[in-house]
Chain A
Amino acid sequence: MSGDLAQEFEVRLAESSRLAFRVAYGVLRHREDAEDIAQEAVTKAYRNFARLRQRDRFRAWLVRITWRLAIDLHRSCKRRTARESFQAPGGKSDTAADVLAARERSARLWTAIDALPEKLRIVTVLAGIEEHDIREVSRLLDLPEGTVKSRLFLARQRLKELLQ
């Protein structure tokens, strides 16, 4: 890879690596696995970066690579038991009861997300990451905004039903 291209990739990497990690985490909910998958996705993107015609589509491209790799790993490790089902919200003032309640809520939420079909799950995860709006999600998934909007609506309805 030429110097300019490598420099450009470095810029893209700096702005997209966290997104790749979060997308992987949204599927795997295991920090180390998510990092491994994000790293693999970035490496794959690096290998093919020179062939990417629309460089401004890099984030979307990386998201799709990461999602696919994460889903593959998730399917192959369905028996995994050591999943992180909790991301502790709040601060140091939380009592043990608060932490336990948050843990339970988070576990229920993830169970509900896992129950969604893949099409609905990816829009839910992407919309939940970094406050992505519908336009951003539609860009990342290369889908019309209307499709994303309807899928997101359907996903939220199902989540609410499952979390009742």
Chain B
Amino acid sequence: MNDEQLTKELEEALAVEPTPQFLARVRREIEAEGRRPAVRLMAAGVAVAAVILGIVLFHPENPTTVESSTASQIVRPLPAAEISITFVPSTPTVTKGRSTQASGHSAQPEFLMDLRETAALQSFLQDVQERKIDPARLEGLFQSAEKVRNTTIAPMPIAAIEPIVITPLSSAEPETGGDL
């Protein structure tokens, strides 16, 4: 095949005409495209209005604002009444050796307790419920524990030890080399 034949074949292969409707279709599409900015603008307006409406309708009554940056001012200690620990023995959430008492979506703070402490506390409560432990006697136990805690242990007196005196070696005669 020579150059001329190849050129002819290529031109024939590419001499394809679009359908008569093609240009009209393109023009229609362009006209539609020209109208689209107005539609887009309208859609954007509707979206903005919806967002504003949403904010107005679902605006929280007490918005949370952080005014201070110090930790002591940000963290507000909860009153004791608000704190409650609930144990769910059947489904504890254990993460890396720790029992997580998560309150789900509640506003309550999350408590992290050691698994062994939880087990000990559960066992204690069970014993109280089963009356293996008399609650009346616990008060006395707590008082004696308190007493022990308040006891001050006097430091042991340091025994008097005589200082060791090492006397320097002294000889009456001057040191001389010995006879070999």
Contact = CB atoms under 8 A, between A and B. Distances in A.
Contacts of A105: 9
A42 B9 contact: no
Contacts of B26: 13, 17, 38-39, 42-43
Contacts of B59: none
B33 interface: yes
A81 interface: no
Interface stretch (B14-22, B111-119, B130-138, B143-151): B14-22
B10 A35 contact: no
Nearest to B22: A35
Nearest to A126: B14
A110 B11 CA distance: 12
Tell which of A9, A13, A21, A26 has the most Cβ of chain B within 10 Å.
A21
Contacts of A106: 9, 12-13
Interface stretch (A71-79, A92-100, A127-135, A142-150): A127-135
B26 to A, nearest CB: 5
Interface string B4-41: 00110111111111110011011101100110000000
Given A17-B23, A38-B22, A128 B14 contact: yes
A13 B24 CA distance: 11
Nearest to A39: B26
Contacts of A125: 14
A13 B33 CA distance: 15
Interface residues of A, number: 38
A35 B19 contact: yes
A18 B30 contact: no
Q: Which label, helix, strand, loop or mixed, suits the secondary structure of the B interface? A: helix
A163 interface: yes
In this complex, the interface size class of chain B, counting residues with CB under 8 Å from chain A, is 20 to 34
B125 to A, nearest CB: 66
B18 A109 contact: no
A110 B13 contact: yes
B3 interface: yes
A87 interface: yes
Tell which of B9, B17, B33 has the most Cβ of chain A within 10 Å.
B9
A22 interface: yes
B33 A38 contact: no
19 contacts: A9-B30, A13-B23, A13-B26, A13-B27, A14-B23, A17-B23, A18-B17, A21-B18, A22-B16, A25-B14, A43-B26, A43-B29, A43-B33, A46-B30, A105-B9, A106-B12, A109-B9, A110-B13, A164-B1
Given A14-B23, A35-B22, A46-B33, 16 more contacts: A9-B30, A13-B30, A17-B23, A17-B26, A18-B18, A22-B16, A34-B18, A35-B18, A35-B19, A38-B22, A39-B25, A42-B30, A43-B29, A106-B12, A128-B7, A163-B1
Interface of A: 1, 6, 9, 13-14, 17-18, 21-22, 25-26, 31, 34-35, 38-39, 42-43, 46-47, 87, 89, 105-106, 109-110, 113, 124-125, 127-129, 131, 156, 159-160, 163-164
Interface of B: 1, 3, 6-7, 9-19, 22-23, 25-27, 29-30, 33-34
